[in-house]
Amino acid sequence: MSNEEVTAEINCAKTLIDRELSKLVRSIEPKLAPQIEYALLSGGKRLRPLIVLFAAQSVGGDRKKAIPLALSLELAHTSSLVHDDIIDTDNIRRGKMALHNKWSTKSAILTGDLLIAYAVYLASSYGGGILKMISQSAIDLCVGEQMDLALSPSSTESEYFQMIESKSASLFQVAASCGAIVGGGSPKEIECLADFGKNFGITYQLRDDLLDLESGEGKASQDLKKGRTSLPLIHLYGISNSIERKALEKGSRVAATENSIESDFAIKSIFEKLEEAGSIMYLKNRIDEHCQLTTKSLALFKDSIYKDCLLQMAKLLEGS
């Protein structure tokens, strides 16, 4: 299939998802409907529900049967964003006020809770097996969030990847594997699509780390400003001597302070060190490595526009 045909198919599926989400919002409890609408319909790439649909169709399944599952994954994801913004004290989401900032923290917590409840409700129609898988991914996400809060520059690379596998990759993995199950895939197809989702999620988070660091040459890095630890920081710490490590730890603390001048200077200094040490290039290489694993996961599938859609989505994550 041509790139134009594949792009058109992805856009068509995204339009379908957006339309179905709008229908869902209109059926939701009126007291929290404005908040649900704001959280769900304020943009978003719809990557997880798209993966559900294309995974189901790539194994010969019916798209219509997978739609409630696709919506369930998007609701679960949106719930995590609402709660993450509270935890991270982020006031902006997709260029708009975060839900807790527009309404209140209490209202946002209730909205996130309601979203996950509706996600479970939608998934329940597929039986206990799929419901259990989605519930486990939600548990993994919570564990990953706690691990993220505990990370520091002195954390190991292994600890970092355990975190992103739980926090970032779990919903992608369950989207792909459950989509394959609903589509009637074979055990081998389900396994391969689970690998696709896992590596897609890891690549997605690594790519997000890169985009954050490269925004304004590090000056606007929200990860450093919020005191978040990403792979390049761990890499730099790992190859530094004891004096350099102490300086990096101090710089990270200053970067996360309220003093904007000192913080901006510290962020710029850390960014320069990451570049000089090859830590950003190291991140790009890991992105390419996991992107290749993502596409390799689909090698056994016969050619179809749905396989091409998954491949094109993965290709957009390349780091170079």
Per residue in 49-58, pLDDT (tens digit) is 999 999 999 9
pLDDT surpasses 80 at 256: yes
- Of residues 249 and 319, the one with the higher pLDDT is 249
pLDDT surpasses 50 at 116: yes
Q: What is the pLDDT of residue 220?
A: 61
Q: What is the pLDDT of residue 320?
A: 45
* Angle, in degrees to the nearest 10, between helices 3-26 and 63-87: 70
Percent of the chain with pLDDT over 90: 82
Give a yes or no: residue 283 inside a domain. Answer: yes
For the residues 138-163, what does the mean pLDDT come to?
Answer: 95
Give a yes or no: residue 298 inside a domain. Answer: yes
pLDDT surpasses 80 at 141: yes
Report d(CA 118, CA 228) in Å as an integer.
31
Please count the CA atoms within 13 angstroms of the CA of 92 that sit on its side-chain side. Answer: 4
Question: What is the band of 191 on the pLDDT scale with cuts at 50, 70, 90?
Answer: very high
Within 8 A by CB and 6+ apart from 174, the residues are 73, 133, 134, 136, 137, 197
Q: What is the mean pLDDT of the chain?
A: 93
For the residues 251-278, what does the mean pLDDT come to?
Answer: 89
Report d(CA 134, CA 141) in Å as an integer.
11
Give the Å distances, CA to CA, from 76 to 65, 66, 67, 87, 180.
19, 16, 14, 17, 19
Give the Å distances, CA to CA, from 29 to 105, 119, 122.
19, 14, 15
Give a yes or no: residue 60 inside a domain. Answer: yes
Question: What is the band of 218 on the pLDDT scale with cuts at 50, 70, 90?
Answer: very low
Give a yes or no: residue 115 inside a domain. Answer: yes
Please count the CA atoms within 13 angstroms of the CA of 101 that sit on its side-chain side. Answer: 14
Enumerate the β-bridge partners of residue 92: 97
For the residues 240-265, what does the mean pLDDT come to?
Answer: 90
Give a yes or no: residue 18 inside a domain. Answer: yes
Q: Please list the alpha-helical segments (H only) found in the chain.
A: 3-26, 33-40, 47-58, 63-87, 99-102, 105-123, 128-150, 157-167, 169-182, 187-214, 222-225, 231-238, 242-255, 260-276, 279-296, 305-315
| Tens digit of each residue's pLDDT (9 = 90 or more) over 268-315 | 999 999 999 999 999 999 999 999 999 999 999 999 999 999 999 999
Give a yes or no: residue 63 inside a domain. Answer: yes
Residue 311: how many CB atoms within 10 A of its CB? 16
Question: What is the band of 227 on the pLDDT scale with cuts at 50, 70, 90?
Answer: confident
Report d(CA 315, CA 309) in Å as an integer.
10
Q: What is the pLDDT of residue 83?
A: 94
Domain that holds residue 231: 3-315
With CA atoms as reference, report the closest residue to 252 among 153, 177, 132, 178.
Answer: 153
Give a yes or no: residue 320 inside a domain. Answer: no
Can you give the C-alpha Rg of the chain in angstroms? 20
Write down the pTM of the prediction.
0.94
Strands 96-97, 92-93: pairing is antiparallel
124: domain CATH number? 1.10.600.10
C-beta separation of 254 from 224 below 8 A = no
Give a yes or no: residue 92 inside a domain. Answer: yes
Give the Å distances, CA to CA, from 74 to 32, 52, 118, 215, 231.
18, 10, 11, 27, 27
Q: What is the pLDDT of residue 223?
A: 86
pLDDT surpasses 70 at 46: yes
Number of domains, the chain: 1
Q: What is the pLDDT of residue 89?
A: 85
